[in-house]
């Protein structure tokens, strides 16, 4: 079928990814071409799975795995990619190429690519050990329920780099259905390159969904190996994943799987004769060819669709065996290698095999050729031959190991699911297998094609695949292809560097990922940092947020309710968010005036702390700001280093929560990507030093990280790396998210943040009109040149001074706590920044202001006036001000006007 015909047939049909997009915010974005988005939607749908690494599943509409598709479309997609590879390589180099496909998803695709090249042998990895066949390699998959990838070529030299006399070595063509991060293929190349070095590799995929960083990584990898690496893909784009999607996906899967778990055996599928008309397929002219079957939905939202066990009547319904008369000596696929000579023998035999199947099908009008796990190519070619021989609709798909949620909704890619026991005596033991979009699809005949190894009693059992199929179609045919076993004993390959023994080197194995997530999974489970503009209003190079996006969660609570819950022990302050403060015009004028007044002072502090860090921690420290107060400071420090030294420092933001510690997963991410010794933690200011102590305790279990915090202002005398120890107004303390990239305070709550998740935060996109984050940064940075000389002089003096922490602030807080009868240092918030937070987020009781503090406290006085909080001027205060949270607060401790009053 031509691409134009496919597009015409898919017009005005619900996209099979819309259900997931609407609920999780997962989006597919094209490569910028005018029809890029539409092309991706034609190729891919979306589904959900119970998987600890990735909630969503990209479901290919042209792969022939999950979605029944015309065999000619499936085969043509791979064949065309193979033709493009041949054009890229040229005839001579194509003749020396070897094609390698990945089990199980890409075994048929890789074979079709090899057919497109026409002159290249083909091999695919396998999960099935074959007795008597030695391994020429293998790839171990950690964190996967599936068995290892094995390489079992009949010719042990197949993976070598063949070359003609005086000619360069031959290229290796690696084929996968999806190129997402590139980890799978790059790790494969690295492992193979150690034993079979060659000068050229070609990576082939249906879709290239890598990020810009992943693309750069491929370029760097090619330089590292010294080999040329080309990429050929049918379409390209990216997957946009909102933070928190994994947890939301888990909850969604759990909610929709519950009805399936509760389904009783007698609630199996309705007999075909009793099925409601709307559950059957749409007319061919109206159905999108890539979509799964059209079945009923509930209120437009869809319901879990598990076909359930077969009924007793269907279990005894016989199947019809078809003797294909598979040509002798032709392998069933590429498990042990498939050469051009094998291809030559198979092609002329296909029409006769199709005729035998067609005769057994009789008057069937809608036929599914169903393959079996890795056995994708043989049934695919049988399907293409049937299309030529039958005046009927022919579709093709295969069974799989991968569990995927089925939801009966036209906007979801997996509409139904058959579950049956494994029937090929797998090395990893018994387990469930699946066939998707078969039940309820209206097929009046299914041609199940397996190899002889899989033709076992389990296949024919009452709960086996044949019985499951019989419950959903009038006719089941069984075609068995002889399992090919190489007749010649293989050379011993036990010394291969691919050995998965405990003594193997790190390159001996790798973990990988694919659209069939349970088949190949990433070793790196943590996502990449969030960046603006998708998360925060900062430029993407300014900061990477090691957080998850909880923007869609309802987290805000009234200030008084939060305070009562926190002080009563009923909740932790990090489990909810205060309602974002919306400053009045008068308050915004105070912010602008404060910024104009103090910008140069802030710039000098920024320069001082940055130069101190560069002098003492090396020329390229990794800045890690404590979100969110530390993040504007981290951005400014990064700008200073670039402005004065032309150095782009990495900068990330992480969450730390008093009483709960720092985000351990963020630390693991940092340790995996940087030397922990290079990490410098950054915060805005110190109060009494609680976070300083919290960080020190939290890092005790992580090697290599220095617990020292670099801050803009250290009025509490808690750290030795600072810009100043004066307690002055840092304008970013005046506001909340609108001066911090529109990001909320961080959140740590068990139902939202799992053990493998980053802490969360919200992105207040709706406050964009009030955002002054960039204005604050630009205003301060504009003073860098004018303060440079003072910074240089100050840093020279500072580096020789005694900067040991005095903890003067902590002592003052303890004194104030007792003097005012509070008896809880956590309710005493010293310094301009912390006092501002009290007035914006908590229920304040009193404000202590240092006598004569002046304009630095203008915004404090205004906020106190607005909230009816008394300001008491005191002497001998080491801070400009101290905010006191209402002790023993209950909502009864406020007057009718909501203002705080002293408890009696």
Spell out the residues 6+ positions from residue 717 whose beta carbon is closer than 8 angstroms to its own. 686, 725, 805, 806, 807, 808, 809
Q: Which residues pair with 652 in a beta bridge?
A: 544, 624
In the predicted model, is pLDDT for residue 721 greater than 70? Answer: yes
The answer to whether 536 touches 543, Cβ cutoff 8 Å, is: yes
The answer to which of 593-602, 702-711, 816-825 has the lowest mean pLDDT is: 816-825
Looking at 317-321, 555-559, 817-821, which range is the least confident one? 555-559
Q: Which pLDDT does position 823 carry in this prediction?
A: 80
Backbone angles phi, psi at 248, to 5 degrees: -65, -40
Average pLDDT over residues 594-619: 92
Task: For 2-143, list the strands marked E by DSSP.
Answer: 27-30, 44-48, 56-60, 98-101, 122-124, 137-139
Min mean pLDDT across 165-174, 331-340, 749-758 is at 165-174
Helix axis angle, 784-798 to 585-617, nearest 10°: 50
Residues contacting residue 103 through CB under 8 Å, at least 6 positions apart: 124, 125, 126, 127, 149, 374, 519
Confidence of residue 568 (pLDDT cuts 50, 70, 90): low
Is residue 565 pLDDT above 60, yes or no? no
What are the residue ranges of helices labelled H in 347-409?
A: 350-361, 377-389
Nearest to 176 by CA among 58, 271, 264, 47: 58
User: Mean of the pLDDT values across residues 49-68?
Assistant: 87
Tokens of 546: 């090691």
Among 248-262, 632-646, 693-707, 843-857, the range of highest mean pLDDT: 632-646
Determine the angle formed by the axes of helices 377-389 and 350-361, rounding to 10 degrees: 70
Question: Running DSSP on this structure, what letter comes out for residue 441?
Answer: S
What pLDDT, in 10s, does the model give residues 496-550?
A: 333 222 222 222 233 333 333 333 333 334 778 898 888 999 988 899 999 999 9
Gyration radius from the chain CA atoms: 33
The answer to whether residue 41 scores a pLDDT higher than 70 is yes
Find all residues with CB under 8 Å of 396, minimum gap 6, and list them.
Answer: 64, 68, 69, 70, 71, 74, 368, 369, 370, 371, 379, 380, 383
| DSSP bridge partners of 662 | 656
Least confident of 86-90, 346-350, 753-757: 753-757
Residue 572: band (very low, low, confident or very high) from pLDDT cuts 50, 70, 90: low
pLDDT tier for residue 648 given thresholds of 50, 70 and 90: confident
Q: What is the pLDDT of residues 401-425, one digit of tens each?
A: 999 999 999 999 999 999 999 998 8
- Residue 318: pLDDT band (50, 70, 90) is low
Q: Judging by beta carbons within 10 Å of its beta carbon (0-12, 13-18, 19+), is residue 557 exposed, middle or buried? A: middle
pLDDT band of 344, cuts 50, 70, 90: very high
Residue 790 confidence class, pLDDT cut points 50, 70, 90: very high
Cis before 828? omega within 30: no
Whether residue 163 is predicted with pLDDT greater than 60 in this model: the reply is no
Do residues 70 and 387 touch, judged by C-beta distance below 8 A?
yes
Q: In this model, does residue 11 exceed pLDDT 50? A: no
Of residues 493 and 630, the one with the higher pLDDT is 630
Cα(9)–Cα(571) distance, integer angstroms:
55
| 137-139 and 149-151 beta bridge pairing | antiparallel
H or E stretch covering 881? strand 881-885
Kindly indicate the confidence band of residue 5, based on its pLDDT and cuts at 50, 70 and 90. Answer: very low
For 468-508, write each residue's pLDDT tens digit.
999 999 999 999 999 998 874 444 433 333 322 222 222 22
Q: How far is CA 251 from CA 52, 93, 762, in A?
A: 12, 51, 19
pTM over 0.85: no
Taking the mean position of all CA atoms in its chain, how far away is CA 195? 32
Q: Which two tokens stand for residue 494?
A: 């036990």
Q: Is omega for the bond preceding 184 within 30 degrees of 0, making it cis?
A: no
pLDDT band at 377 (very low <50, low <70, confident <90, very high): very high
Q: What is the pLDDT of residue 519?
A: 36
The predicted structure's pLDDT at residue 500: 28
The mean per-residue pLDDT over the stretch 792-804 comes to: 91
Mean pLDDT of 373-377: 97
Highest mean pLDDT: which of 497-511, 576-590, 833-847? Answer: 833-847
Rounded CA separation 556/575 (Å): 10
**Among the listed residues 213, 279, 748, the one whose alpha carbon sits nearest the alpha carbon of residue 528:** 213
CA dist 415 → 82, 255, 433 (Å): 31, 16, 16
pLDDT band at 69 (very low <50, low <70, confident <90, very high): very high
Residue with token string 């990814």? 17
Going by C-alpha positions, the residue among 371, 342, 375 that lies closest to residue 118 is 342
User: What's the whole-number average pLDDT of the chain?
Assistant: 80
Query: Predicted confidence band at 578 (pLDDT cuts at 50, 70, 90)?
Result: confident
Q: What is the C-alpha to C-alpha distance for residues 192 and 200, in angstroms, rounded to an integer?
A: 12
Q: Is 50 exceeded by the pLDDT of residue 764?
A: yes
Q: What mean pLDDT do residues 100-126 have?
A: 95
């Amino acid at each position: 079928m031509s691409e134009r015909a496919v597009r015409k047939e898919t017009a005005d049909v619900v996209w099979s990814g819309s259900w997931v997009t609407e609920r999780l915010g997962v989006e597919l974005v094209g490569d910028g071409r005018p029809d890029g988005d539409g092309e991706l939607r034609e190729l891919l749908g979306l589904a959900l799975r119970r998987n600890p690494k990735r909630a969503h599943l990209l479901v290919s509409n042209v792969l022939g795995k999950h979605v029944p598709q015309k065999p000619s479309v499936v085969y043509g997609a791979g064949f065309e990619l193979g033709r493009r590879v041949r054009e890229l390589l040229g005839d001579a180099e194509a003749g020396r190429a070897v094609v390698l496909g990945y089990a199980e998803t890409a075994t048929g695709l890789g074979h079709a690519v090899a057919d497109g090249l026409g002159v290249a042998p083909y091999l695919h990895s396998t999960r099935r050990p074959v007795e008597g066949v030695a391994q020429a390699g293998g790839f171990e998959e950690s964190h996967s329920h599936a068995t290892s990838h094995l390489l079992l070529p009949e010719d042990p030299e197949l993976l070598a780099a063949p070359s003609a006399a005086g000619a360069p070595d031959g290229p290796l063509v690696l084929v996968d259905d999806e190129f997402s991060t590139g980890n799978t293929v790059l790790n494969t190349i690295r492992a193979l390159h150690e034993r079979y070095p060659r000068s050229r590799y070609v990576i082939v995929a249906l879709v290239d969904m890598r990020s810009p960083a992943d693309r750069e990584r491929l370029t760097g990898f090619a330089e590292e190996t010294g080999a040329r690496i080309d990429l050929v893909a049918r379409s390209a784009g990216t997957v946009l994943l909102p933070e928190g999607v994994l947890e939301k996906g888990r909850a969604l899967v759990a909610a929709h799987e519950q009805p399936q778990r509760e389904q009783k055996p007698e609630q199996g599928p309705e007999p075909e004769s009793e099925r409601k008309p709307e559950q059957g397929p749409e007319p061919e002219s109206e159905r999108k060819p890539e979509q799964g079957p059209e079945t009923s939905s509930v209120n437009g939202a869809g319901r879990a669709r598990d076909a359930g066990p077969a009924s007793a009547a269907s279990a005894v319904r016989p199947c019809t065996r078809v003797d294909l008369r598979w040509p002798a000596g032709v392998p069933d696929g590429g498990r042990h290698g498939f050469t051009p000579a094998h291809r030559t023998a198979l092609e002329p035999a296909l029409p006769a095999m199709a005729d035998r199947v067609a005769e057994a099908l009789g008057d069937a009008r809608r036929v599914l050729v169903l393959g079996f796990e890795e056995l994708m190519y043989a049934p695919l070619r049988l399907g293409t031959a049937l299309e030529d021989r039958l005046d009927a609709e022919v579709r093709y798909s295969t069974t799989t190991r991968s569990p995927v949620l089925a939801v009966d909704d036209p906007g979801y890619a997996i509409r139904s699911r058959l579950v049956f026991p494994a029937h090929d005596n797998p090395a990893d033991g018994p387990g469930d297998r699946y066939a998707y979009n078969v039940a309820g699809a209206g097929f009046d005949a299914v041609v199940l094609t397996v190899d002889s190894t899989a033709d076992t009693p389990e296949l024919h059992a009452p709960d086996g695949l044949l019985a499951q199929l019989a419950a959903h179609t009038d006719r089941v045919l069984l075609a068995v292809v002889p399992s090919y076993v190489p007749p010649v004993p293989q050379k011993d390959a036990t010394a291969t560097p691919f050995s998965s023994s405990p003594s193997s080197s790190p390159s001996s194995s790798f973990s990988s990922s694919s659209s069939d997530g349970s088949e190949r999974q990433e070793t790196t489970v943590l996502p990449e940092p969030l960046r603006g503009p998708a998360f925060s209003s900062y430029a993407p190079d300014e900061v990477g947020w090691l957080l998850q996006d909880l923007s869609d969660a309802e987290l805000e609570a009234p200030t008084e309710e939060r305070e009562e819950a926190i002080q009563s022990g009923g909740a932790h302050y990090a489990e909810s968010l205060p309602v974002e403060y919306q400053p009045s015009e008068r308050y915004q004028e105070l912010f602008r005036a404060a910024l104009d007044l103090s910008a140069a002072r802030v710039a000098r502090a920024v320069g001082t702390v940055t130069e101190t860090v560069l002098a003492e921690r090396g020329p390229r420290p990794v800045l890690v700001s404590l979100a969110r107060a530390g993040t504007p400071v981290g951005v400014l420090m990064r700008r200073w280093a670039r402005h004065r030294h032309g150095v782009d420092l990495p900068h990330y933001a992480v969450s730390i929560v008093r009483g709960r510690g720092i985000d351990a997963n963020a630390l693991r991410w940092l340790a995996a990507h940087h030397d922990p010794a290079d990490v410098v933690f950054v915060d805005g200011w110190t109060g009494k030093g609680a976070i300083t102590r919290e960080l020190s305790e939290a890092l005790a279990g992580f090697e290599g990280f220095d617990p020292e915090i670099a801050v803009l202002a250290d009025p509490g005398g808690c750290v030795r790396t600072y810009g100043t120890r004066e307690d002055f107004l840092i304008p970013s303390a005046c506001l909340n998210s609108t001066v911090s990239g529109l990001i909320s305070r961080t959140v740590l709550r068990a139902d939202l943040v799992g053990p493998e998740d980053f802490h969360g935060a919200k992105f207040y996109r709706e406050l964009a009109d009030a955002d002054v984050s960039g204005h604050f940064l630009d205003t301060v940075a504009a003073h860098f040149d004018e303060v440079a000389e003072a910074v240089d002089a100050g840093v020279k003096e500072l580096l020789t001074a005694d900067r040991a922490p005095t903890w003067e602030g902590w002592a003052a807080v303890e004194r104030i706590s007792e003097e005012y009868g509070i008896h809880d240092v956590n309710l005493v918030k010293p310094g301009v920044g912390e006092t501002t937070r009290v007035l914006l987020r908590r229920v304040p009781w009193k404000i202590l202001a240092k006598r004569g503090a002046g304009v630095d406290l203008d915004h404090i006085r205004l906020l106190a006036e607005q909230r009816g909080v008394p300001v008491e001027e005191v002497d001998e205060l080491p801070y400009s001000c101290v905010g006191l949270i209402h002790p023993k607060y209950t909502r009864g401790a406020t007057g009718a006007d909501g203002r705080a009053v002293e408890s009696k």
